[in-house]
Amino acid sequence: MPSVRGHWMLDSAEDGASWIWRLTSHENKHTTQGRTRQAWVSLLEDLGLDYQFVTPEMIRAGALASPSLAALVLPRSIALSDAEAVAIQSFAMRGNLVCADAQAGLFNENLMRRRVGCLDALFGIKRSTSRTRLKTGRVRAPAAKAIPYPVSEPDLRPTTASVHGEAGQTPILLTAKFGSGTALYLNLLVMDYARDRLQAPPRAAWLRNELRRRLLMAGLRPRVHLVRKPDAPSWPVAARLRKVPGGYVLAFHLNVTTGGAAVPWKKIPTDTVVELEARLWKSFNIRNLDSGASLGRLRRFPVRVSASRPAFFQLFSKKP
């Protein structure tokens, strides 16, 4: 895909003769596009949102016309064709959410630099220069004291977008209306989120909470919302929902994906238990599949997830 190829070229620009040693084991930790993609996967899972991947070919073939899609995330999608840009704008016009995190659409599908980003009008932004804080896979400036993640484009400014957060004079969270939909631009380098959720939970919590507020404002709500007890361990928990005859099966487990960074297993005791409250989008008759006990018809119920075993529940639309 063009963005993947573009990032590989940018990441390896200073490698010289050693570029050939960029094997998979190296890329897992150093590729900026792959780490950003994993960061967004972890973010969506931590927010309880379902997702699926779409390729440039699928977008050009009309995949965004599906009524089952409510939002599109563009993880550092620096290269987009004109046809993809038109499809993305049409998706937003129909009342959906489009979210990008940095440098979206600055190149075309042939990796030729555009004078103006092809989605700048959608996001309500402009850039006085193409300067970025990321060069050959390395962040060239630290994060601001109040902002845990580094700014991506220091010369980005709003045109029609509303600013919801700044680092100095640089906007970092912007939203814009486009037709009946919403565009959200996150002017931050979020590559380390997957690692931070295990190794630096306060940093990860800041990003997760900021994004949750913006997604709720755009009308995007998870079907299963997890509320953690104040004294519960900070390890991330994922909820997996699968439709079955008569209702759903709902599973909860510790979600320790790190995007290539080492998992701190020694810090996660096998007897760790995370206590949560699960809040559903409507009431169900609920049964604990581990104990077989019926919890009654509820919209909220307590969940205990251990490090060594997931928790399973069955949700019945009607009383079984």
Query: Beta strands of 265-293 (E only): which ranges?
Result: 273-288
User: Could you tell me which residues are beta bridge partners of residue 252?
Assistant: 239, 311
- Spell out the CATH class of 2-217: alpha beta
Q: CA-to-CA distance for 63 and 74, rounded, in angstroms?
A: 15
- The span from the first CA to the last CA of the chain, in angstroms, equals 48
Tell me the CATH number of domain 224-316, given options 1.20.120, 3.30.519, 2.60.40, 1.10.10: 2.60.40
Written as one string, the DSSP assignment of 1-46 is -HHHHHHHHHHTTT-GGGGGG--HHHHHHH-HHHHHHHHHHHHHHH
- pLDDT score for 229: 82
pLDDT tens track of the chain, all 320 residues?
666 655 556 665 555 666 566 655 555 566 777 788 889 999 998 898 889 999 999 999 999 999 889 999 999 898 999 999 999 999 999 999 999 998 899 988 888 889 999 999 999 999 988 888 877 666 776 666 678 899 999 999 999 999 998 888 899 999 999 999 999 999 999 988 988 888 888 889 899 989 998 888 888 889 999 998 888 878 888 899 999 999 999 999 988 776 666 667 777 777 778 899 999 999 999 999 999 999 999 999 999 998 788 999 999 988 76
Q: CA-to-CA distance for 60 and 272, rounded, in angstroms?
A: 46
- Write down the domain spans for the chain: 2-217, 224-316
- Are 319 and 285 in contact by the 8 Å Cβ rule? The answer is yes
- CA-closest candidate to residue 34, choices 315, 297, 287, 258: 258
Domains 2-217 and 224-316 share a fold: no
